[in-house]
Structure 1
Amino acid sequence: MVVVGHIFWLSDFGRFAVFGFYILSGYLMTYIMHTSYGYSSLGRKKFATNRFLRLYPAFWAAILCSIVITLFWGSSSNGFILPTNLAAIIGNTTMIFPHWMPSQIEPRLSPATWALTVELFFYVAIALGISKTLKRTYIWISLSVVFIVLSYVMNLYWHARYFSIPAGSLPFSLGALIFFLSKQKSVRYIPEAILASPIKLFFTSFCIAIVTSIAISQSLSFWLMEIIFYFCMAINFLLVLSLAKQNTFVNGLSTKLDKKIGDFSYPFYLLHYQAAAIASVISLGKVASLKENFSLISCMLTFLILFIMSLCVIKLIDKPVEKLRQTIKAK
């Protein structure tokens, strides 16, 4: 959804997926802190080291790719502009864009990585114990809701409820809550029938995202758009909860195949702008937006290039690094 929204279609389409991923991250980070690392100094150190190894090698490969594209074919509106000062170099090297709304910091050699600054912030918060107990998690959720309410009271533009670091607090905290709810045999106020079929929840969320994105392009009012957005986030919450309770997404899909598909998610996120840039050079002779120059060939070419680039990252970077991560985790 993020790839399609950024490269080919309506940017609003990817918005729904980003917050869904925040929910998933909130759950997974809380899960591994409780079950794999613990909250001792050593556990936190292992968590930080493994997160670093998971995120940064592939990220550095992505920005290197952007640098090569820029040197060969010049800068583009997609953000492939070489940093020219120390602050920009540090931001593009560390993935930390120091602003309460990280998307405001430019240039970003891997344009979508503003959301990873948000991720890193809440990784630290979770490692420090913000979701260590159910009580703390409910307090976290409450504070997240307070921010949303205050943003309306202060008449902040909707960007503050999407692009900012505090905006990520609600989905992350809901993801953390899922860890505790998933251990319960039944969840109060949520009928088991709703959680029984995660694929139905996924397609419901997917269809809402499509229809709403089209409606936004036709001047859907902001207040209605945001109501639908938070409704869709609630569905994504149910989807992650359903999966956390071990409900099968697709019957017959092996765990091994599911993992192989999942391995592509991070490199796809990091490299989709770069793949589109290369595809535009091949099809148009220059780095250009494919939204204004869309064709079936450019779409297929972009996904082919993205698949090949992602496969290279998985085979040459992620797999070797994963062995090191497992060694650290086992110590």
Structure 2
Amino acid sequence: MFGALRLFLAITVILSHFAGDVYYKHFGYYAVRVFFILSGFAITAALNEVYAFDLKRFWANRALRLLPLYYLVLMATLATILVLPIETARFTSDWAAPNLNELWLNLALLPMMNWAHAFRVVMPAWSIAVEILMYIYLALGCARRKSYAALMFAAAVAFHTLSFLDESGWDIRYFSPHSAALGFSIGALIYFQRRENRLRVPPRAILPLLLLWLANTVGGGWILSDDYARLEGFYLNSIIGAALIAALADWRPAAVLQALDRYLGELAYPAFLSHWLVGFAVALAFFGTDARGTGFALAAILASLVVATFMAALNERWVEPLRRKIRRGEKVTQSPLPDTRDLGAAGA
């Protein structure tokens, strides 16, 4: 039962980008980090229980999940930039200086995990590229054994500790691709702990944990300082997010709720992927190309959900049948998880 959580986190990211107040920035940072924990959990489960470390099937499925919609949004965004160069440049500086060399990097996707690019066509490309890097770590071995996941976690803790001690700054602790190893390793460890029956957070804890997450997110930069939001609150966010994911993994609601949850989860990735292009369209039509603010953010969220519905339908028609064929390989164990098909930030 992770679909609704995925969509909620995607909406939180959109709010942080378009609300127009620096206060909301860390909302997106926190949501992305919970995404990473969820992906670490889901991909570790999928590698062990769906693909049995058959990496050919795993990567084929990952490519089908991530890339068709990514390139669809990239091409639509690029066409918009070429047709409306002045308006798109006003909406975001990332679209202001298109050039061929940067375009090739956008097409390759993986180079976009480095945030320092003058021309970023699909803004969420950074987090997608980082996810792929983490998939590589997990597939190469960190998802095979609990001890390997623990080593990944220890390396991530060392990275974050050293980046704090040498005063590298917030950008290193958040935007550096390797900083994501903390969330992914936590997710992998949740999987192994649950498999060994050593970690059980009861489903009744879901609502209190969600409220605690909201309190930590909303309080940072408002009741508590910006420094708290980027340090203590940032790491507390991961702790709460990990507990929430562990609790959701044990929730077994009625079949109708499971179906609804799965559908909501299918909207998360296309909404997250397309929200800058959709936001530009909303701004151009109703607000002005330099629009920001809570009213604009809410309109962009609603429009993104509408567009995501159509994108999910296209994906279900043309891509998901292929992914289902790939997933039909023999499972090596009885899965203790509710459904390994749709767990991660971008689906497993």
Give the aligned partner of residue 230 of structure 1: 235
**Residue 275 of structure 1 contacts residue 302 of structure 1 at CA under 8 Å; is this kept in 2?**
yes
Answer yes or no: is 1:264 the counterpart of 2:264: no
Moved more, 145-154 or 298-307: 298-307
Cα 1:198/1:223, change in 2 over 3 Å: closer
User: How many Å apart are 1:122 and its aligned residue?
Assistant: 0.6
Distance in 2 (CA, whole Å) between partners of 1:223 and 1:137 is 28
Give the aligned partner of residue 153 of structure 2: 141
Give the aligned partner of residue 107 of structure 1: 119
Distance in 2 (CA, whole Å) between partners of 1:207 and 1:52 is 36
User: How many Å apart are 1:319 and its aligned residue?
Assistant: 3.6
1:130-181 CA-to-partner distances (Å, cap 9, x unmatched) read 1210111111111111111111222201111111111101111000001111
Answer yes or no: is 1:308 the counterpart of 2:318: no
**Residue 221 of structure 2 contacts residue 229 of structure 2 at CA under 8 Å; is this kept in 1?**
no
Moved more, 20-29 or 75-84: 75-84
Cα 1:323/1:131, change in 2 over 3 Å: same
Matches within 5 A, 1:181-200: 181-187=193-199, 192=201, 196-200=204-208
User: How many Å apart are 1:318 and its aligned residue?
Assistant: 4.2
Distance in 1 (CA, whole Å) between partners of 2:120 and 2:105 is 8
Q: Looking at both structures, which has the greater relative contact order when contacts are Cα pairs under 8 Å and sequence separation is at least 6?
A: 2
**Residue 276 of structure 1 contacts residue 290 of structure 1 at CA under 8 Å; is this kept in 2?**
no
Cα 1:261/1:98, change in 2 over 3 Å: closer
| Unmatched runs of 5 consecutive residues or more in structure 1 | none
Matches within 5 A, 1:279-318: 279-284=282-287, 286-291=288-293, 294-295=294-295, 298-318=296-316
Moved more, 52-61 or 306-315: 306-315
Cα 1:120/1:20, change in 2 over 3 Å: same
Moved more, 255-264 or 177-186: 177-186
Cα 1:98/1:271, change in 2 over 3 Å: closer
Amino acid at match of 1:93: L
Matches within 5 A, 1:1-331: 1-9=12-20, 10-39=24-53, 43-74=54-85, 75-76=88-89, 77-78=91-92, 79-81=94-96, 83-86=98-101, 88-97=102-111, 102-187=114-199, 192=201, 196-214=204-222, 220-222=225-227, 225-244=230-249, 246-248=250-252, 254-284=257-287, 286-291=288-293, 294-295=294-295, 298-330=296-328
| Cα-Cα RMSD | 2.2
User: How many Å apart are 1:323 and its aligned residue?
Assistant: 0.3
Amino acid at match of 1:166: H
Cα 1:117/1:310, change in 2 over 3 Å: same
Cα 1:225/1:181, change in 2 over 3 Å: same
SS in 1 for 2:243: helix
Moved more, 113-122 or 16-25: 113-122
User: How many Å apart are 1:83 and its aligned residue?
Assistant: 3.5
Amino acid at match of 1:290: R
SS in 2 for 1:60: helix
User: How many Å apart are 1:254 and its aligned residue?
Assistant: 1.1
| Unmatched runs of 5 consecutive residues or more in structure 2 | 1-11, 330-348
Distance in 2 (CA, whole Å) between partners of 1:178 and 1:266 is 23
Cα 1:241/1:272, change in 2 over 3 Å: same
Determine what percentage of the aligned residue pairs are the same residue.
23
The alignment's TM-score, normalised by the length of structure 2, stands at 0.83
User: How many Å apart are 1:211 and its aligned residue?
Assistant: 1.7
**Residue 81 of structure 1 contacts residue 109 of structure 1 at CA under 8 Å; is this kept in 2?**
no
SS in 2 for 1:16: helix
The alignment's TM-score, normalised by the length of structure 1, stands at 0.87
Amino acid at match of 2:59: A
1:91-133 CA-to-partner distances (Å, cap 9, x unmatched) read 211321266xx22223111112211111010111111111210
